Structure 1
Amino acid sequence: MDLDHARTVAVEAAEAAGALIREGTRRSLRVHAKGDAGDVVTDLDLASEKLLLERILTAFPSHAVIAEESGLNGAAGCEWTWLVDPLDGTNNIAIGLPAYVVGVALCRAGRPQLGVVHDPVSAQTWSAIKGRGALASSGRRLSAPYAPSPHGPLLAWIQGYGIARDDATVLRLKSALDLHARRVLQLWTPLLSWAMLARGDIDGIVGYRTGVVDLPAGALLAQEAGIEIRALDGGPYDERIQGAADERSYVAAHPRALPGLLALLQ
């Protein structure tokens, strides 16, 4: 498998999808409810996903794709499986907030090998191949710095849909973060948070029962920039993706910052 070729396909597909979305935001959107937890979907999600599926499956017809809206395309248990989030930040677009990205990842036997995140708003793309580092579209290598602040860390919080408002774990974790962090961002676009962590714009991410379709692209990008990911209890983080119904809880930060963040959450 030529991962450099796969990255080229993924980057070009994500940027084409981003152009489609950016153009679509100039017109009125049709927004539809998705599930019972307050999530939404727009025609742009569907159009972007169609474009991405066509590009990926044309280039790699023997691969499977798990997409945010259509689920599994191809055979389950395929050695090579793509995960596609055609529009991460749909709720932001629905209210006119320009914070959204496109995410594409490629896994081998469930383990992420390639991740691409494209931001149509800033026209920036970040990509990573496992073991080979993370790159910005300019070619600059990403390296997350360790830059502690006396005012506490700047963190992003990500949680999955369907989590009850009175979930005891959520209340405990968010209370700890609010007390000790300089600021806690809830961007409604997890992949953008991962890109910000990889760039060094924020200090860490705490995720609780998050979905996995948009996880591997961002997590691999951050890891290849030097970020470490652990389970909430400090144990090993299992990167293997079993299917679209997976949920993950985790803490991600620079290795030197991670012990303090884990201690804060305990």
Structure 2
Amino acid sequence: MVDLDHARTVAVEAAEAAGALLRDGTRGVVGIRTKGDAGDVVTDLDLASEKLLLERILTAYPSHSVIAEESGLVGGADGEWTWLVDPLDGTNNVAIGLPAYVVGVALCRGGRPVLGVVHDPVAAQTWSAIRGRGATGSSGARLAPPYLPSPYGPLLAWTQGYGVARNDPTTRALKTALELNARRVLQLWAPLLSWAMLARGDIDGIVGYRAEAVDLPAGALLAREAGIEIRALDGGPFEECFDGPAEDRSFVAAHPRAIAGLLSVVGL
């Protein structure tokens, strides 16, 4: 068995070191190039941060597998323990000079996250969670977002996977429903930042459609351990695993007392 307290220390220290690298790097000229056919980009900072994270994790756990945003699968192949690394969640924000980005790390056992860490270099804040043991912030205080309904509707965040087409009918239906019923809909280009905001109580919910496998588990575990409820779009159970089909990574997330209302908003 892995000592999850030690694993959290490794992950937090690695994420914060990567965050310092990103924070320093964004003060200068950032090298940017296109990635894929959908207009996405990658920066030199993504690659440098990922290299640091991989070195830290594989030094501590050489037999584990790591799936990283840019490098794919590296490290051991025992199949039981897999780390997920998002070295710069919010690359497109960095590319346009918007200081909204985080570093995400998750440790999964059998595809299911047992540890999640999200670090915000701009705010110098780190949030982490161990399955079944709650979520905490940098101060060590437990995260427990309150239920504070607004008469003007909820403040929601939206996220979707890179592979979702612009004219996808489900996407269009969901976004239209949110725009009609929410007070505001945030599209931050940094899903892990949205999860941290939900876990803190800054926003009321998140709706995701075919979310990316690398960044979903860390954020979803953080929010769930803070007391957030996550359901599939049809209201059924949801597991924040990374190894299933993209259709299984569509969800709504909100305070338990608000989840029914959010499901009614997105009912397809």
User: Counterpart of 1:258?
Assistant: 259
- Per-residue CA deviation, residues 145-166 of structure 1 (Å, 9 max, x unaligned), is 1111000000000011132222
Q: After the TM superposition, which segments of 4 or more aligned residues of structure 1 sit over 4 Å from their partners? A: 243-247
The answer for the alignment partner of 2:198 in structure 1 is 197
Q: 1:115 is matched with which residue?
A: 116
CA distance in 2, matches of 1:115, 1:71: 19
Deviation at 1:68, TM superposition (A): 0.3
1:17 and 2:18 correspond: yes
Whether the 8 Å CA contact 1:154–1:182 is kept in 2: the answer is yes
Task: Indicate the residue corresponding to 1:224 in structure 2.
Answer: 225
List per-residue Cα deviations over 1:183-205 (Å, max 9, x = no partner): 00000000000000000000000
Classify 1:145/1:97 alpha carbon distance in 2 versus 1 (closer, same or farther; 3 Å).
same
Cα deviation, residue 244, structure 1: 9.7
The amino acid across from 1:112 in the alignment is P
Q: Does 1:166 align with 2:164?
A: no
Per-residue deviation, 1:116: 0.3
What's the offset of the Cα at 1:74?
A: 2.6
Shift of 1:239: 2.6
Q: TM-score, normalised by structure 2?
A: 0.97
Change (3 A) 1:60 1:245: farther
**Identity score, percent:** 78
Q: How does 1:15-164 map to 2 (within 5 A)?
A: 15-76=16-77, 78-164=79-165
Deviation at 1:60, TM superposition (A): 0.5
Is residue 211–residue 244 contact of structure 1 (8 Å, CA) maintained in 2? no
Amino acid corresponding to residue 40 of structure 2 in structure 1: D
Q: Distance in 1 between matches of 2:79 and 2:210?
A: 25
Amino acid in structure 2 at the alignment position of 1:192? L
CA distance in 2, matches of 1:253, 1:245: 21
Distance 1:65 1:245, change over 3 A: farther
Does the 8 Å contact 2:63/2:77 carry over to 1? no
Q: State the number of aligned residues.
A: 266
TM-score, normalization: structure 1? 0.97
Q: Cα 1:243–1:104, aligned 2, differ >3 Å: closer, same or farther?
A: farther
Whole-Å separation in 2 of the counterparts to 1:37 and 1:77 = 33
Gaps in structure 2 of 5+ consecutive residues:
none
C-alpha separation in 1, matches of 2:157 and 2:100: 14
- The C-alpha deviation readout for 1:83-105, integer Å capped at 9, x for no partner, is 00000000000000000000000
| SS in structure 1 at match of 2:234 | coil
C-alpha contact (below 8 Å) 1:71/1:244 kept by paired residues: no
Change (3 A) 1:191 1:182: same
Note if contact 2:211-2:246 (Cα within 8 Å) is conserved in structure 1: no
For the 8 Å contact 1:82–1:104, the answer to whether it is kept is yes
Matches of 1:77 and 1:58, distance apart in 2 = 16
What is the CA–CA distance in structure 2 between the aligned matches of 1:102 and 1:48, rounded to whole Å?
9
